[in-house]
Amino acid sequence: MTPERRLHTDTDDGMLLIISGPSGVGKTTITRGVERAISDSVFSVSATTRDKTDADVEGVDYRFVSDERFDELVESDALLEWAGVFGRRYGTPRAWVDEQLARGRLVILEIDVEGAKQVKARMPDAFGLFVLPPSEDVLLERLRSRRRESEELIQKRFSEAKREIREAHECGAYDAFVTNDDLDRAIGEALEHVRTARGRRRGESVS
Ligand code: 5GP
């Protein structure tokens, strides 16, 4: 029998990258920075039942769906993971992710800790990256400076952020933690983690 020969094709490179972090930590900016720097990366557009804001672009930031439509997606097992965040539901389209991975792409999921745990349970090869604030004080300051919410909601997000950080450290879903004290440095560090993990999968020796 001819020994099986593994050819290096682009399909070897498919990798799922989870990026999480509390709101106000700058994870969307870091996510977009990673996406820009890695040419074969693609951002997974989640379905959500939350209201669209003026800053959101349908089909680019999210697909905005009704509760009924979200129920259908859950029931037909069309979501790789989903979670309730601040009373709204968010989920990752499974078929699209599978297709992009099969094409060898770096597929970026910007999801919460609950979702990350589900993805890691189903796909242990996924790489989990968690973005941390430099300190709790800085996080609170950043949440306030967005000026788009009441103090009550800011405090709620702040408590939730602290709980999420604790959970991220304990749950085992994250392979790396990046502190966003300086945006360019944080993006650089995230890129280094991603490139190292991808290199490892290709069997490259990494120092
Ligand atoms: P926002 O409404 O501020 O855009 O997002 C709220 C939270 O939902 C963020 O922590 C974001 O990472 C998370 N999120 C966005 N899409 C998904 C998703 O598809 N699945 C899960 N589990 N969380 C998501």
Distance CA 13, CA 40 (A): 10
For residues 143 and 130, which has the higher predicted lDDT (pLDDT)?
Answer: 130
Name the closest-CA residue to atom 22, ligand 1.
Answer: 115
Mean of the pLDDT values across residues 46-54? 96
pTM for the model: 0.91
Name the closest-CA residue to atom 2, ligand 1.
Answer: 50
Residue 87's alpha-carbon distances to 23, 49, 63, 130, 185, in angstroms, are 15, 9, 17, 22, 34
Can you tell me which atom of ligand 1 is nearest the CA of 27? 12
pLDDT at 4 over 50: no
The predicted pLDDT at position 1 comes to 39
Is 110 within 8 Å of 27 (Cβ atoms)? yes
Residue 194, CB-side half-sphere exposure with 13 Å CA sphere: 30
The predicted pLDDT at position 130 comes to 98
pLDDT at 49 over 60: yes
Distance CA 6, CA 22 (A): 41
Can you tell me which atom of ligand 1 is nearest the CA of 19? 12
Name the closest-CA residue to atom 3, ligand 1.
Answer: 23
Helix (H) or strand (E) holding 127: strand 127-132
pLDDT at 63 over 90: yes
pLDDT at 87 over 90: no
Share of the chain above pLDDT 70, in %: 92
Mean of the pLDDT values across residues 73-96? 96
Question: Which tens digit of pLDDT belongs to each residue from 132-169?
Answer: 999 999 999 999 987 778 999 899 989 999 999 999 99
Distance CA 134, CA 113 (A): 19
Q: What is the CATH number of domain 3-202?
A: 3.40.50.300
For residues 116 and 2, which has the higher predicted lDDT (pLDDT)?
Answer: 116
Share of the chain above pLDDT 90, in %: 80
Question: Which tens digit of pLDDT belongs to each residue from 108-129?
Answer: 999 999 999 999 999 999 999 9
- Which residues have a Cβ under 8 Å from the Cβ of 122 and sit 6 or more positions away? 80, 81
Domain boundaries, the chain: 3-202
The predicted pLDDT at position 121 comes to 96
Which of 54-68, 70-84, 190-204 has the weakest average pLDDT? 190-204
Query: Is the minimum distance from the CB of 22 to ligand 1 under 6 angstroms?
Result: no
Mean pLDDT of all residues belonging to the chain: 91
- Which residues have a Cβ under 8 Å from the Cβ of 142 and sit 6 or more positions away? 24, 25, 26, 133
